């Protein structure tokens, strides 16, 4: 298990092949730097969270933004398609999964038309995530349509440590002015066009303004890695942010990413930082749970400090063995005072955490070992934005559709099932 999942033994040469040192996005920021001291005047706790992401993720703070939380895959894709129609300079799309179907047909029609109009269209997808959905020669098919396509780490039937590292990010950037991230992938089930595992609950966020440039830099850094290009973020002129209008004051945000070779679990630590600073509530949505002691401890301390901690997980799993690992954490979470809910209508795939009407994180990062330590991930940290309140409201609207798990549920679980869950939890790094 250690050889399959640990990054410590990877040679420096292989580490460079996996992307090398993290890109310092602060150095490539085209806009006037927003000092964290400005945030500190409003909230010491917010400043501490932002300081961590500045130092660990090398990600700058932005404030000239507007944001919108999109509480379903259907809404996410409709908003994104509307923005794609308005693209004039470039469209960047990066997903773990792209699958042929009705949704992809709609996107492909727009992308092909935009490419014909002279818009620079670039797509990245993960080979492992898409291997059963697209042919190995699909990038060549897209090239004939004027669409440039890069594939992250071609799948090889050889199990190595780096075989476990996948590009799980979800990033969309339009003209450097609009950006999206969240839990969704570009396939029919994410918009409930087809039914898999009941109703598929997913979400994402739309950011407009200077912060879109942060997502653009993330995409370009991955594009450079996939095509082995010299690192460069300065391929476009400064976006005309003034086109957004006068009212762009919607709090603060930090787009950030995490990778298996940055020597620090930035995603996990950003969650812990928010959990440890919450004073009233913490609401979490995640499809998978494989928690180490640091997360369990942070959640336990929060509850014992009087914070209301609620977690929603799937009622209908997409992978039964993986869901057994999730269920193995019910009892320790309940013993710590955390309230756990299953989304009864189907599969919960949203990845969000919101606290105190002040803070939120939305992106691709699951509460799992794989997301925290093995995958390339993306997200946005938010402070005092309207999207934070939208995330809160969406979570509260969700609870009536959920079944709360109690200690009685855990006690009624057959002994052999508990043993099987505990055994499977050993393999949490593979989840």
Which residues are identified as catalytic? Answer: 168, 170, 175, 349, 351, 356
CA angle 128, 203, 123 (to 5 degrees): 40
Assign residue 228 a region (left: φ > 0; alpha: ψ between -120 and 50; beta: otherwise): left
**Degrees (nearest 5) of the Cα angle 12, 15, 17?**
115
DSSP string computed for 4-24: HH-STT--HHHHHHTT-SPP-
Give the N- to C-terminal CA distance of the chain in Å, as an integer. 12
**204 closest CA partner among 365, 88, 401:** 365
Task: Name residues whose C-beta falls within 8 Å of residue 101's C-beta, 6 or more positions apart in sequence.
Answer: 187, 188, 193, 194
Tokens 């190995």 found at: 136
Its sign, for the CA torsion 28, 30, 36, 42, is negative
Residues with Cβ within 8 Å of 408's Cβ and at least 6 positions away in sequence, in order, are: none
Tell me the DSSP string of 176-208.
Answer: TTEEEEES--BSGGGGTSS-SSBEEE--EEEEE
Determine the Cα–Cα distance for residues 116 and 57; give it in Å rounded to an integer: 37
Contact 67, 206 (CB under 8 A): yes
Residue with tokens 């950030």: 256
Asked if 275 and 380 touch (Cβ cutoff 8 Å), the reply is no
Strand partners, 405: 340
How large is the greatest C-alpha to C-alpha distance in the chain, in angstroms?
63
- Number of other CB atoms surrounding residue 292 within 10 Å: 13
Q: Are 273 and 301 in contact (CB under 8 A)?
A: no
The pair of three-digit structure tokens given for residue 204, joined into one six-digit string:
């994402």
Bridge-based pairing state of the strands 249-258 and 377-383: antiparallel
Residue 384 makes CB contacts below 8 A (sequence gap 6+) with 42, 46, 251, 252, 358
Please state, in angstroms and rounded to a whole number, the distance separating the CA atoms of residues 314 and 200.
9
**153 and 167 Cβ atoms separated by less than 8 Å:** yes
């Amino acid at each position: 298990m250690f050889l399959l999942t640990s990054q410590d033994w990877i040679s420096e040469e292989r580490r460079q092949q996996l992307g090398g040192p993290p890109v310092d996005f602060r150095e490539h920021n085209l806009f006037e730097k927003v000092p964290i001291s400005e945030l500190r005047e409003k909230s010491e706790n917010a400043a501490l969270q932002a300081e961590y992401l500045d130092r660990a993720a090398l990600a700058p703070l932005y404030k000239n933004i507007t944001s919108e939380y999109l509480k379903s895959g259907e809404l996410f894709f409709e908003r994104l398609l509307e923005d794609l129609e308005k693209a004039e300079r470039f469209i960047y799309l990066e997903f773990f999964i792209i699958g042929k179907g009705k949704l992809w047909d709609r996107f492909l029609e727009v992308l092909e038309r935009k490419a014909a109009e002279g818009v620079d269209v670039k797509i990245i997808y993960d080979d492992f995530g898409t291997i059963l959905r697209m042919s190995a020669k699909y990038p060549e098919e897209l090239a004939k349509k004027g669409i440039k396509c890069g594939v992250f780490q071609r799948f090889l039937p050889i199990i190595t440590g780096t075989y476990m590292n996948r590009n799980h990010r979800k990033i969309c950037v339009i003209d450097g002015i609009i950006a999206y991230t969240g839990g969704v992938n570009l396939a029919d089930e994410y918009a409930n066009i087809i039914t898999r595992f009941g109703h598929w609950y997913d979400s994402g966020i739309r950011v407009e303004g200077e912060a879109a440039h942060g997502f653009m830099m993330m995409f370009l850094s991955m594009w450079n890695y996939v095509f082995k290009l010299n690192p460069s973020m300065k391929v476009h002129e400064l976006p005309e942010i003034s086109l957004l209008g006068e009212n762009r004051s919607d709090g603060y945000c930090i787009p950030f990413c995490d990778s298996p070779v940055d020597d620090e679990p930035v995603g996990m630590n950003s969650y812990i930082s928010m959990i440890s600073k919450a004073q009233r509530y913490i609401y979490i949505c995640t499809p998978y749970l494989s928690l180490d002691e640091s997360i369990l401890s942070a959640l336990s301390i929060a509850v014992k400090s009087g914070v209301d901690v609620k977690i929603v997980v799937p009622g209908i799993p997409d992978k039964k063995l993986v869901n057994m690992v999730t269920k193995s954490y019910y009892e320790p979470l309940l013993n710590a005072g955390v309230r756990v809910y299953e989304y009864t209508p189907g599969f919960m795939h949203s990845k969000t955490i919101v606290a105190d009407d002040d803070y939120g994180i939305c992106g691709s990062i699951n509460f799992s070992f794989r997301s925290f330590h093995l995958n390339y991930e993306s997200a946005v940290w938010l402070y005092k934005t309207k999207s934070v309140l939208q995330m809160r409201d969406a979570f509260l609207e969700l609870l009536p559709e959920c079944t709360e798990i109690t200690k009685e549920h855990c006690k009624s679980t057959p002994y052999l099932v508990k043993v099987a869950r505990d055994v499977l939890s050993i393999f949490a790094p593979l989840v």
